[in-house]
Amino acid sequence: MGGTSGTHDAALDIRGVRVLPGWLDADEQAALVARLRDVAREAPFFRPETPRGKPMSVRMTAAGRYGWVSDRRGYRYEPRHPSGVPWPPIPDEVLAVWRAVTGLDRAPDCCLVNWYGEGARMGLHQDRDEADFAWPVVSVSLGDAALFRVGGTERGGRTASVWLRSGDVAVLEGESRLAFHGIDRIRHGSSSLLQQGGRINLTLRVVD
């Protein structure tokens, strides 16, 4: 899985972010969604809120040693789902993608699972709640296409955008590891992968 065989479209460089179009084929995407349903059964999706108490437009859950959460106490990693249950293990299929695109033996500590319904978005932000920014961040797109925007390491300034489609993988590494990035909008109905529609994004991070 994840580029270990077959051919793929050429990688794109979006302001230092390595985008791998079509990294997962249709069968691999469907198999991954089935495994994510198992994750959601153990750790159901929930709607986080910002520290100011505003509900986010995405729903999320996680797998691995930690899950990322947000509420009035702030942004942080927690070893348990808000219900109190441990996060389920990261599926082997997801770990295979991480190993293939990073070449690392070190496994990620967290697989954040975000679900974007119609109208959902994610404002420009940095991934900086981790202990060591030398490790890459890997993003896997499943379902409806999303307009991905990338800026620099300082807020403001020039940005670049690309449509991420189902099966695409993006890697934030090197100088782009702390780049501001976000999702401007979802092209609702552009994929039939998810029965309920929408987009699932997996974000893999080393936390400790």
In order, the DSSP letters of 157-202 are S--EEEEE-TT-EEEE-GGGGG--EEEEEEETTS--SSTT-SEEEE
- Confidence at residue 8, expressed as pLDDT on a 0 to 100 scale: 73
Listed in sequence order, the DSSP H helices in the chain are 26-42, 92-102
Sequence-ordered list of residues with C-beta below 8 angstroms from that of 69, at least 6 positions apart, any chain: 48, 75, 76, 77, 78, 82
- Confidence at residue 4, expressed as pLDDT on a 0 to 100 scale: 43
Q: Assess contact for 186 and 144: CB atoms under 8 A.
A: yes
N-to-C CA span, the chain? 27
- Confidence at residue 9, expressed as pLDDT on a 0 to 100 scale: 81
Q: Cα–Cα distance between 87 and 129 in angstroms, integer?
A: 18
- The pTM of the full predicted model, rounded to 2 decimals, is 0.93
Domain 12-205, CATH 3.30.200.20 — does that match?
no
Q: What is the pLDDT along the chain (208 residues), one digit of tens a residue?
A: 555 444 678 999 999 999 999 999 999 999 999 999 999 999 999 999 999 999 999 999 999 999 999 999 999 999 999 999 999 999 999 999 999 999 999 999 999 999 999 999 999 999 999 999 999 999 999 999 999 999 999 998 899 999 999 999 999 999 999 999 999 999 999 999 999 899 999 999 999 9
Q: What residue segments make up the domains of the chain, in order of their start?
A: 12-205
**Nearest residue to 187 (alpha-carbon basis) of 115, 114, 120:** 120
